[in-house]
Structure 1
């Protein structure tokens, strides 16, 4: 068995000072594999006990107990504080290297790619959409004829005025589509751009086409070159490629939670990763500021703002069924979750969203705000270690129908 496969079998959540080395599986592994697993944590985020950075582990334990006792299908839940990994929870035998379908978290990645191109002078929010797409796809000229005033910023802010009627179960915009861009290009220009907030998935398809045209390569390849590799990501895959070779700019990306946290770090640190400017700081500010407060005060450029927390700065990404990257600048913290939770409700009040709000507001924020009230102790660490081990061995019940793309992968 090679070392990579061995690590996949043995690596368990990093849970602080007394974390990985205590797991029975790791005790059975070779010393070399253990060292490699530990070094991979250090290369991403150094691990720390919560109390060592002024975080109270007890609310985190209570949150984990609630998730476990109620059998909520939370596959991963991570908390990064001051650049350190202080809480890493998995369930059902899952490990760090599993990746997950991120659904609309993908949109935020597309926005970051636009920001990179903007910094290179190749694509800007005020660029008109039709000339860029028609130059690369002249066959779509007639389909785009009613969209001459449409700009990139209108697509990024979900205020394009485009209308697309989704067909449940057999929609040609999503998976198994021959030509997704052609479907999006034929959507109806219902309103002039900038008049209404309407969260429709034709918008990121068109943005993805603009990214590909400006970068002169497929969006997934540009993302790998400019984002995934510079951030040291692994086990990533952009699913849902249509018969023309294009992915969707709005869904289909699969990432490990630890790599989702790196995207959160870019948002938190003004586009920097480990001292390197990956995305221009000016773009991060623009992306995380309401694009049109009159239409949607909680939405920037494919970025939700104060969607989870009120009363202090908060922004991040959200995906269907409960995929989240949440940035808490005041706490210098990032929260990441992947899950399969109930989907009933609307865009701003879905059950999975309400559950996640409870996790962040009732448990994670109080834990982060402990400050000098807590100190590291063997008893606290033992309690956290025990709970995370129980969580890793437990398995939640899916809160909604499981689609073909929902199972975790390596």
Structure 2
């Protein structure tokens, strides 16, 4: 009996020590003021910004412990200052690896991250610039005005598909990338890479199943047609165009259009890499109505079209996300929070986000690798970050 009591006591002491050790680890999380660099972002501490630092540090501890799955970075920009920036351990993206997770690394400010479908929002930026500079006359033009080499597909009312319907994913083309896993070639977003046809043909040969402009269907294929239109209108591939008119003015050097088809075309559905800091700069650009360092890079009108839902694009639920119902503008997702006002964001599979909160004068960036599990970043926002910023 005495021996049993002694063993039980030792066991209890062991668990107490383990718990204390775990608590000590979480309590030892060290918040550091973001580093001031020459990238154009000004930094400040949470305390000086009058932000509830206890909430932000608490959620950073939880992220570090894996409470919300695999999050690689979280950056918070408030009232013209970067006030929080931290990076965590996690996997690089690799499509053909288990769970799409490749090498395990410690992420940092200098490591570019795959944006996945947040890439689509950069396509929209390029079109806003191309229209402003006169390369494209109007987004209400038929796509076939800019696709001379694909006129054989201009039939069966497809001439009613416009640039605007591509930007708002209301083209009407048959497409499915939400009901089939992204690990399967039966998913159109994956099947397009394995087709013998070039990516534009892969989309244009499909029938229209809805009147263009009337029905939302999430489609990376629409983005691929836009890439070809931009190239034909400007004489530049999207990597060249974005470098000249978007990334260079923003001082962004980390951009890498890394994903290409066997035919050589750049993937505009999800093929861009940026560092989280450079993602943040794009969010700040939109927060400031398209102005960076005194220069109007994207028109205020275009930013407004991105930040508000288009026509029928309401009440959408994004698979794998905890955002609830959202809207969709010119390739940017939109949401109205009762307490915090309007939000719009560039969003990519696995937890890549550039989130703009105009009413809070804030931008929040996430990166991650929750490819097979639900992204829980809205819980982070509503329970911690947004109350701290309010």
- TM-score class normalised by the smaller sequence: 0.7 to 0.9
CA RMSD of aligned residues (A): 2.3
Q: Is the 8 A contact 1:164 1:188 kept in 2?
A: no
Runs (5+) with no aligned partner, structure 1: 1-12, 21-37, 345-350, 370-410
Once the two structures are TM-superposed, the CA of residue 122 in structure 1 deviates from its matched residue by 2.2
Is the 8 Å Cα contact of residues 128 and 149 (structure 1) preserved in structure 2? Answer: yes
User: Which of 119, 139, 154 is residue 132 of structure 2 equivalent to?
Assistant: 119
Matches within 5 A, 1:212-361: 212-293=231-312, 298-306=327-335, 312-343=341-372, 351-352=374-375, 355-361=376-382
Find the aligned partners of 2:62 and 2:86 in 1 and give their Cα distance.
Answer: 13
8 A Cα contact 1:176 1:240, kept in partner: no
Equivalent of 1:90, from 87, 91, 100?
87
> Structure 1 residues 309, 181: CA separation in 2 closer, same or farther (over 3 Å shift)?
farther
Which moves more between the two structures, 327-336 or 121-130?
121-130
Pairing 1:137-216 to 2, within 5 Å after superposition: 138=149, 140-146=150-156, 147-165=158-176, 169-170=184-185, 171-174=190-193, 179-216=198-235
Specify the SS of the correspondent of 2:355: strand
The CA distance in 1 between the partners of 2:224 and 2:338, in whole Å, is: 29
Partners of 1:337 and 1:294 in 2: CA distance: 24
CA distance in 1: counterparts of 2:41 and 2:195, whole angstroms: 37
Q: Identify if the C-alpha distance between structure 1 residues 164 and 212 changes in structure 2 by more than 3 Å, giving closer, same or farther.
A: same
Query: Which residue in 2 is equivalent to 1:15?
Result: 32
Q: Deviations over 1:141-185 (max 9, x none)?
A: 223433111111111111111013568533341379762222122
1:60 aligned to 2:70?
A: no
How far has the Cα of 1:44 moved from its partner? 2.8
Higher mean C-alpha displacement, 104-113 vs 45-54: 45-54
* TM-score using structure 2 length: 0.77
Quote how far apart the aligned CAs of 1:244 are. 3.6
- Kept after mapping to 2: 8 A contact 1:316/1:325: yes
Larger radius of gyration: 2
Q: In 2, distance between residues paired with 1:199 and 1:329?
A: 25
User: Which residue is equivalent to 1:363?
Assistant: 384
Number of residue pairs aligned between Structure 1 and Structure 2 = 324
User: Whose relative contact order is higher, 1 or 2, with alpha carbons under 8 Å and at least 6 apart?
Assistant: 1
Moved beyond 4 Å, runs of 4+: 165-168, 175-178, 293-297, 307-311
**1:361-401 per-position Cα deviation (integer Å, ceiling 9, x unaligned):** 111111112xxxxxxxxxxxxxxxxxxxxxxxxxxxxxxxx
1:294 & 1:336 partners in 2: Cα distance?
24
Alignment partner, residue 130 of structure 1? 144
- CA–CA separation in structure 2 for the residues paired with 1:285 and 1:216: 27
What SS class does the counterpart of residue 87 from structure 1 fall into?
strand
Counterpart-to-counterpart distance in 1, 2:196 and 2:41: 38
Task: Supply the distance in 1 between the matched residues of 2:118 and 2:196 (Cα, whole angstroms).
Answer: 21
- Shifted more, 325-334 versus 117-126: the winner is 117-126
